[in-house]
């Protein structure tokens, strides 16, 4: 019997991944970054530019249009095109849409990317440009309540209060991910982080300290999506897209979601697991969207990976480390590797499942959960479950 939501299961795969350097000043345009990441991903898959017939990205007025990337790649007959407006909550939705395009026959080879000069050019929450078009922003601005750290700080405080979480609980997330980042050749943060370092850092917006906040990064990441059958004949082992789901959320101001300490991921998770035909206990590694530290334990709860209120002990006992029960953000995440708005989590999951993560490789990892922002502020969320071919 076909289970509801299983139509995409294992029909498509990530066949290639590519990155640019992660830096604070790329010195090039977002178009150049996108093209570098895309060509690297195609090279990784053993494909040519002429194989591309679909393009997909997300952006928030901070990057190059998808059609311009297609033209620069020389795509003459563009069969599929997605240029999605949205932040990190849409990051995994882009890959899901590419998978749907391939599975439906609309396209054969779709490249998904995110390219940003998020430090040297377009700093999220910065000044000097028009205000967001969200209606409620007019009610925030008179109080100076405008930036992502301010918005998420209120959520973090509510979550900490509800769970009895401490600053040290958040600090363990930052410290653990820094340990992982030190094993990644791409990571921007190259110095170890102790709990004392974490607690001594300045507040950005209480309760969020400096190391609770993601990096500002100039970089691009790309993944190639094609059919599972075709991927098996390419250069690298295919990483099957076992399940994909998107969900709603709330903008903090205009939605009546009753409990802000439970995200839209809690609604999305059952559909995601059903689509992949597995449960939370089957997940080997988790790459969880981490614009701010508290989002990681919150998602561990909302995706059913850790019992609510027990994430502090989960981290204190080392279960999120590379040798732990469930390694989390094995690349260092947005906090310590770099902020490429969600897609670097997909690329890391694929690298882990292909056994190509080097010193940070999790032995025997066959199933990965990778997530976008869990529905706050932007009002949407998305996630994927990826699977190594041998486990099919």
Residue 182 lies in a domain: no
Phi and psi for 209 in degrees, rounded to 5?
A: -90, 180
**Angle subtended by helix axes 91-104 and 343-353, to nearest 10:** 60
Q: How far apart are CA 76 and CA 373, in angstroms?
A: 34
Q: What region does 375 belong to: left with phi over 0, alpha with psi -120 to 50, or beta? A: left
Residue 252 lies in a domain: yes
From the list 387, 373, 278, 287, the residue with the least C-alpha distance to 337 is 287
Residue 339 annotated as catalytic: yes
Residue 6 lies in a domain: no
Omega of the bond leading into 46 within 30 degrees of 0 (cis): no
- Mean pLDDT of the residues in the chain: 93
Residue 141 lies in a domain: no
Q: How far apart are CA 299 and CA 289, in angstroms?
A: 8
| pLDDT-based confidence at residue 119 (cuts at 50, 70, 90) | confident
Q: pLDDT for 188-219, tens place per residue?
A: 999 999 999 999 999 999 999 999 999 999 99
Residue 295 lies in a domain: yes
CA atoms within 13 A on the CB side of 21: 7
pLDDT reading at 4 higher than 50? no
Residue 66 lies in a domain: yes
Q: pLDDT for 230-271, tens place per residue?
A: 999 999 999 999 999 999 887 766 666 778 899 999 999 999
**Three-state secondary structure of the chain:** CCCCCCCCCCCEEEEEEEECCCECCCCCCHHHHHHHHHHHHHHHHCCCHHHCCEEEEEECCCCCCHHHHHHHHCCCCCCEEEEEECCHHHHHHHHHHHHHHHHHCCCCEEEEEEEEECCCCCCCCCCCCCCCCCCCHHHHHHHCCCCHHHHHHHHHHHHHHHHCCCHHHHHHHHHHHHHHHCCCCCCCCCCCCCHHHHHHCCEEECCEEHHHECCCCEEEEEEEEEEHHHHCCCCCCCEEEEEEEEECCECCCCCCCCCCCCCCHHHHHHHHHHHHCCCHHHCCEEECCCCECCHHHHHHHHCCCCCCCCHHHHHHCCCCCCCCCCCECCCCHHHHCCCCCCHHHHHHHHHHHCCCCHHHCCCCCCEEEEECCCCECCCCEEEEEEEEHHHC
Read off the pTM: 0.95
Pairing of strands 285-287, 367-371: parallel
pLDDT reading at 127 higher than 60? no
Q: What is the pLDDT of residue 184?
A: 96
Q: pLDDT for 143-168, tens place per residue?
A: 877 788 998 999 999 999 999 999 99
Q: What is the pLDDT of residue 381?
A: 95
Q: What is the total count of domains within the chain?
A: 1
Residue 181 lies in a domain: no
Which among 289, 303, 315, 376 is annotated as catalytic?
289
Q: How far apart are CA 325 and CA 296, in angstroms?
A: 16
| Number of residues written out for the chain | 392
Residue 52 lies in a domain: yes
Q: How far apart are CA 89 and CA 376, in angstroms?
A: 8
From the list 50, 77, 51, 68, the residue with the least C-alpha distance to 227 is 51
CB 112 within 8 A of CB 90: no
Q: What is the CATH number of the domain that holds 316?
A: 3.40.47.10
Q: pLDDT for 269-327, tens place per residue?
A: 999 999 999 999 999 999 999 999 999 999 999 999 999 999 999 999 999 999 999 99
- Show the domain range for 373: 12-122+214-391
Which among 152, 273, 339, 376 is annotated as catalytic?
339
pLDDT reading at 126 higher than 70? no
């Amino acid at each position: 019997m076909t289970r509801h939501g299983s139509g995409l299961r294992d029909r498509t795969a990530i066949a290639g991944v590519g990155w640019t350097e992660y830096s604070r000043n790329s010195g090039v345009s977002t178009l150049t970054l996108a093209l570098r990441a895309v060509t690297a991903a195609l090279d990784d898959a053993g494909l040519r530019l002429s194989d591309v017939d679909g393009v997909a990205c997300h952006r928030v007025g901070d990057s190059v249009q998808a059609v311009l990337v297609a033209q620069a790649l020389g795509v003459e007959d563009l069969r599929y095109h997605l240029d999605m407006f949205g932040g990190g909550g849409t990051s995994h939705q882009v890959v899901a849409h590419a998978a749907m395009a391939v599975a439906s026959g609309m396209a054969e080879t779709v490249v998904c990317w995110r390219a940003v000069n998020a430090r040297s050019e377009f700093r999220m929450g910065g000044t000097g440009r028009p205000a967001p078009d969200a209606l409620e922003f007019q009610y925030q601005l008179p109080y100076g309540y405008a930036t992502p750290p301010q918005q998420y700080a209120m959520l973090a405080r509510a979550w900490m209060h509800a769970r009895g979480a401490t600053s040290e609980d958040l600090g363990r997330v930052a410290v653990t991910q820094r340990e992982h980042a030190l094993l990644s050749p791409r990571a921007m943060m190259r110095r170890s982080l102790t709990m004392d370092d974490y607690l001594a850092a300045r507040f950005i917006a209480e309760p969020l300290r400096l190391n609770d906040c993601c990096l500002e990064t100039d970089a691009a990441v790309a993944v190639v999506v094609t059919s599972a059958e075709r991927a098996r004949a390419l250069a690298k082992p295919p990483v099957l897209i076992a399940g994909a789901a998107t969900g709603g959320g709330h903008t903090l101001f205009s939605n009546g979601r009753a409990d802000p300490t439970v995200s839209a991921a809690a609604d999305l998770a059952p559909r995601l697991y059903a689509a992949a035909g597995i449960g939370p206990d089957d997940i080997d590694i988790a790459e969880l969207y981490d614009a701010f530290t508290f989002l990681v334990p919150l998602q561990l709860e909302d995706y059913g990976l850790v019992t609510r209120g027990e994430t502090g002990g989960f981290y204190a006992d080392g279960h999120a480390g590379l040798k732990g029960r469930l390694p989390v953000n094995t690349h260092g995440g947005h906090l310590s590797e770099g902020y490429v708005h969600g897609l670097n989590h997909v690329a890391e999951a694929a690298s882990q499942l292909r056994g190509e993560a080097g010193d940070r490789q999790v032995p025997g990892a066959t199933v990965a959960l990778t997530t976008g922002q869990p529905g706050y502020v932007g009002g949407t969320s998305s996630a994927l479950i990826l699977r190594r071919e041998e486990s099919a």
